[in-house]
Structure 1
Amino acid sequence: MVHALLLLSSLAIIAHLAVASTSGSFVFNGFRGADLSVDGVSSIDPGGLLLLTNDTKLAMGHAFFPAPFDFVNSSTGSPLSFSTTFVFAIVPSVADVKSHGLAFVVSPSKNFKGAHPSQYLGLFNLTSNGDPTNRILAVELDTVQNIEYDDIDDNHVGIDVNSLRSVNSAPASYAVAGSPRGREFKNLSLTSGQPMRLWVDYDGREMRLDVTLSPADVPKPPTPLLSSKLNLSSFLGAGGMYVGFSAANGGVTATNYVLGWSFSLNGRAKELDAVSKLPSLPHVERADRRLRMWRVMLPVGFSVSLLLSIIVVGLALLIRSTVKYSEVREDWELEYGPHRISYKDLYRATRGFRDENMLGEGGFGSVYRGVLPGSNLEIAVKRVSNESKQGMKEFVAEIVSIGRVRHRNLVQLLGYSRRRGELLLVYDYMPNGSLDRYLFNRPEVLLGWSQRFRAIKGIAAGLLYLHEEWEQVVLHRDIKASNVLLDGDFNARLGDFGLARLYDHGSNVQATHVVGTLGYIAPELSRRGKATVNSDVYGFGAFVLEVACGRRPYEIKPSGEEMDLVEWVLEFSKRGEIVEARDRRLRDDYVAEEVELALRLGLLCSHPVATSRPSMRQVVQYLNGDVPVPGLSEEDVQVFGSMNPNKISALCRSVACDPVDGAQSSGDELPLPETTRLSGGR
């Protein structure tokens, strides 16, 4: 009898919480016992709060109603109306330092395995953002201004269709009842930690989406915050769509709560209970009182000697932990808070930077694979040594700026950390490693021509974006196959921005010391030491030749003779046999026209005179076949031939360094002073 009563009681609670999806609606006045599909860091706490995110950095969470809804009228094919309302609260871990917010989502799937946290809100990644096949409608409550998505500010509500670039957005606010025509809006802070209520109403007949926001204890305002015409006929489609929430944290965390949720298809969503009847948000003050009481009562329960022992052991562990995870933090870094990742998290992610997690090692540092604790996000961590603090502020400022660069052919820089004499740069992890491992040193898998040509075109597109299409000009200054990484589909992405420089469009870059890698440094750098987009084009030319020929730009033969790849390809060009300079390991797996185009382009980009090199926009046009690649004139050939045959040795002498032994197999960088490398040559 007792068991039967308990069963009936449980069923009654569940019936009160949610109405079955067959009726096209449900109501959750709290989520205790609710049957939701949750993943990531999302959970339902014992008090009935839905936690979309917690204090885990670079993490995301999703919570969806388990059953799909058919949003389309089966007889007419037109979209049905729907309505939803929910009460939420965003509580930042650190006051006034914001994370990335949450979104209400309508999606054909509950699986967001390929999505990323941070600015992607757990919905998209670099390549999927903007893809029309996503069929995702989201109403975002965004608390970080992302310039790449044209965000209006860091406290706004937006309507997103397949992309995080909102079709309509407005600062978080609500219409004041009784104001003239309801046009007076009062501002709200999404990260205040206070409960707020959002209504999303779609009129299928008028094809209009209205979004309304207010404090949780204020009735629905008379005027929506956002109103947009949206034809969702083809977007929603047949087969059912899921409704739910997505939220994400970046380097700074916030806890995103949902206290109650109501949804209705082809009808008005039922209003939720009053806030006082919904689950209560945790009270920090109450926890602090309990902590103080515990600290007072502890000595009563234990002897003085035991307490002293605990204190001694605790202090020892604390000092050990502090020393182990100690970081360098300065006041000027506060503005870069969201981009800073704790050394402790990186240490745990890489399992203490163990050798088995090392992906590679070079003159500028070692790279380790890691998985951030709590988020399962795979990352690559580069440790760069620097014994001097000179230029560190400017360098970090540029690193953070570059972290905002977004392009499908660029490895995304997620953030940084500083510890003692180290700078740690955190990137997206590329599972197939660097391109050079498939070209040199007898690779287990030799990259075919189609993949090589696609990599050349991809890096060209990425450099065009850096030079001309982003808000500032970005000089990479170290373009080479070992800095080109391959994702899971072998798409090429240019990475390692440790030497990059930024400057405004139309301004002149300041003079700098020579930095880069032997064989990829433009000749004019040894004379003027001034990096330009033309010197980047030279590095790209060396990259194209090494990919097409399977040889490094600079090699030392067993006899000790220096071999320059540009001169080697130029000799084939003079004989009218430039295709014969290709990587012979390709055998018959190549397209002669593409190989010839690549080799001629590589020579053109490697022209000794900087102004004779093409721009990256022209390079992309050549690679796409829009414009034919111009051939080298006799005068150009003479300029190549007049160059000092030992120009590489001369360049090294001009910057007080010597050619590195073994450059044929390792591609070692110029042994420049560590401070020069790290500060970007300031």
Structure 2
Amino acid sequence: MEKQVEGSLIQFTYGDLQRVTKNFSEKLGSGGFGSVFKGTLIDSTEVAVKKLEGFGQGEKQFRTEVSTLAVIQHVNLVHLRGFCTEGSKRLLVYEYMSGGSLDSHIFQNKSTVLDWKTRYQIILGIARGLGYLHEKCRECIIHCDIKPDNILLDKDFCAKVADFGMAKLIGRDFSRVLTTIRGTIGYLAPEWISGLPITSKVDVYSFGMMLFELVSGKRNTAHSADGSKIFYPSWAATKVVEGDIFSLLDHGFKGAADLEELTRVCRVACWCVQDSEADRPTMGQVVQILEGVLEVSMPPLPRVLQLLIEDQSQINS
């Protein structure tokens, strides 16, 4: 069976993981890097096994990157339990998160609306997890793919960031994978598109975009009644700057949210999606704002969003 290597990390054989997952029978989801399956270890611990696809990395390099990821432990980061590398097969074994993805709670499972208190704790948890990756690790880890699918919840709705370190594991192909997976507009910072160097501020941008979705329960790109596409953050940012933040709230709340917290979150979202990375806060600053340690001033309307609003009104007229 599995053997202990690299500190707390377990090295599994492919056969182990076939057994653990009942031959990869229960699929939890799939993304740009591969599919994830539910498994149960001999001691009854539940795990999530990720089969990585289209992987060009050598075994030695893969082991090195995996062992650096295993050291990273934080209450708001999904814990890596083990790995498997056999021939061309590369698999990662994570703790299982019974609450599923944030995406499923905001957009798919509309029967139970997450209340404001829970959402605020989720937002704070994500910010703390990212702040740890950016500022507390030996070298800064940029996630590069922050979106609701990559935020998982445990049974108590504690939020944990999943899939961090993928950029390092996948190496050169990473940005190609990213831009092909998602349209440029969803959560991608402008510097991806303009080819500027990528810094931790791309995560800050994606985090800001995700906040709009968490507050409203709406996807950033939605279709209006007449079938035209609305880019929701443009409208939301305008409302924040106008001071009309209650109009942004998910209707399921029936207006029940803490005004001070809501103001903080909406302003932070706007600051995070500023066009220039220099104008965006660090995740450490975001955590301090959300904890009420730092004040947050009224943000300017990001120029990219301003242009989108003008385009929209021209299309509509």
- Shift in Å, 1:358: 1.6
Segments of structure 2 that go 5 or more residues without pairing to the other structure are: 313-317
- Shift in Å, 1:390: 5.1
How has the CA–CA distance of structure 1 residues 389 and 500 changed in structure 2, closer, same or farther, with 3 Å as cutoff?
closer
- Shift in Å, 1:419: 4.9
1:487-526 superposed matches below 5 A: 487-497=154-164, 499-501=166-168, 513=175, 515=178, 517-518=182-183, 519-526=186-193
**Which residue number in structure 1 is paired with residue 40 of structure 2?**
371
Q: Does 1:450 align with 2:110?
A: no
Residue-pair matches, total: 306
One-letter amino acid matched to 2:152: L
Segments of structure 1 that go 5 or more residues without pairing to the other structure are: 1-55, 59-97, 101-117, 120-249, 252-339, 503-508, 648-682
Q: Does 1:344 align with 2:15?
A: yes
1:511, 1:530 within 8 Å by CA — same for their partners in 2?
A: no
Aligned equivalents of 2:112, 2:224: Cα separation in 1: 25
- Shift in Å, 1:644: 8.6
Aligned equivalents of 2:64, 2:224: Cα separation in 1: 42
Please list the CA deviations of residues 194-215 of structure 1 after superposition, one character each: whole Å capped at 9, or x if unmatched.
xxxxxxxxxxxxxxxxxxxxxx
- Shift in Å, 1:420: 5.6
- Shift in Å, 1:438: 1.2
Q: Does 1:384 align with 2:84?
A: no
Q: Does 1:57 align with 2:2?
A: yes
Aligned equivalents of 2:59, 2:273: Cα separation in 1: 33
Q: What SS does structure 2 have at the residue aligned with 1:596?
A: helix
Please list the CA deviations of residues 512-543 of structure 1 after superposition, one character each: whole Å capped at 9, or x if unmatched.
73526441110111112532111111011112
Q: What SS does structure 1 have at the residue aligned with 2:84?
A: strand
How has the CA–CA distance of structure 1 residues 385 and 644 changed in structure 2, closer, same or farther, with 3 Å as cutoff?
farther
- Shift in Å, 1:646: 7.5
Q: Does 1:474 align with 2:147?
A: no
Q: What SS does structure 2 have at the residue aligned with 1:403?
A: helix
Q: Runs in 1 of length 4+ with deviation above 6 angstroms?
A: 509-512, 644-647
How has the CA–CA distance of structure 1 residues 376 and 466 changed in structure 2, closer, same or farther, with 3 Å as cutoff?
same
Aligned equivalents of 2:85, 2:2: Cα separation in 1: 17
One-letter amino acid matched to 1:408: V
Aligned equivalents of 1:535, 1:637: Cα separation in 2: 15
Q: What SS does structure 2 have at the residue aligned with 1:598?
A: helix
Structure 1 residue aligned with 2:200, among 530, 533, 538? 533
**Which residue number in structure 1 is paired with residue 295 of structure 2?**
628
Q: What SS does structure 1 have at the residue aligned with 2:81?
A: strand
- Shift in Å, 1:394: 4.0
1:485, 1:492 within 8 Å by CA — same for their partners in 2?
A: yes
Q: Which has the larger radius of gyration?
A: 1
Q: What SS does structure 2 have at the residue aligned with 1:360?
A: strand
1:40-189 superposed matches below 5 A: 57=2, 119=8
**Which residue number in structure 2 is paired with residue 562 of structure 1?**
229
How has the CA–CA distance of structure 1 residues 396 and 497 changed in structure 2, closer, same or farther, with 3 Å as cutoff?
farther
**Which residue number in structure 1 is paired with residue 93 of structure 2?**
426
Aligned equivalents of 2:111, 2:30: Cα separation in 1: 19
Higher helix proportion: 2
**Which residue number in structure 2 is paired with residue 134 of structure 1?**
none
- Shift in Å, 1:349: 0.7
2:50, 2:91 within 8 Å by CA — same for their partners in 1?
A: yes
How has the CA–CA distance of structure 1 residues 442 and 638 changed in structure 2, closer, same or farther, with 3 Å as cutoff?
same
How has the CA–CA distance of structure 1 residues 472 and 562 changed in structure 2, closer, same or farther, with 3 Å as cutoff?
same
**Which residue number in structure 2 is paired with residue 358 of structure 1?**
27
**Which residue number in structure 1 is paired with residue 131 of structure 2?**
464
Please list the CA deviations of residues 308-365 of structure 1 after superposition, one character each: whole Å capped at 9, or x if unmatched.
xxxxxxxxxxxxxxxxxxxxxxxxxxxxxxxx321111111110111xx221233432
1:292-331 superposed matches below 5 A: none
Aligned equivalents of 1:371, 1:389: Cα separation in 2: 29
How has the CA–CA distance of structure 1 residues 358 and 390 changed in structure 2, closer, same or farther, with 3 Å as cutoff?
closer
How has the CA–CA distance of structure 1 residues 615 and 430 changed in structure 2, closer, same or farther, with 3 Å as cutoff?
same
Aligned equivalents of 2:88, 2:228: Cα separation in 1: 39
2:98, 2:153 within 8 Å by CA — same for their partners in 1?
A: yes
Return the structure number with greater relative CO, CA threshold 8 A, min gap 6: 2
Q: Identity of paired residues, percent?
A: 34
- Shift in Å, 1:483: 0.9
1:512, 1:530 within 8 Å by CA — same for their partners in 2?
A: no
How has the CA–CA distance of structure 1 residues 451 and 577 changed in structure 2, closer, same or farther, with 3 Å as cutoff?
same
How has the CA–CA distance of structure 1 residues 597 and 494 changed in structure 2, closer, same or farther, with 3 Å as cutoff?
same
Aligned equivalents of 2:141, 2:165: Cα separation in 1: 12
- Shift in Å, 1:581: 0.8
**Which residue number in structure 1 is paired with residue 315 of structure 2?**
none
How has the CA–CA distance of structure 1 residues 394 and 551 changed in structure 2, closer, same or farther, with 3 Å as cutoff?
farther
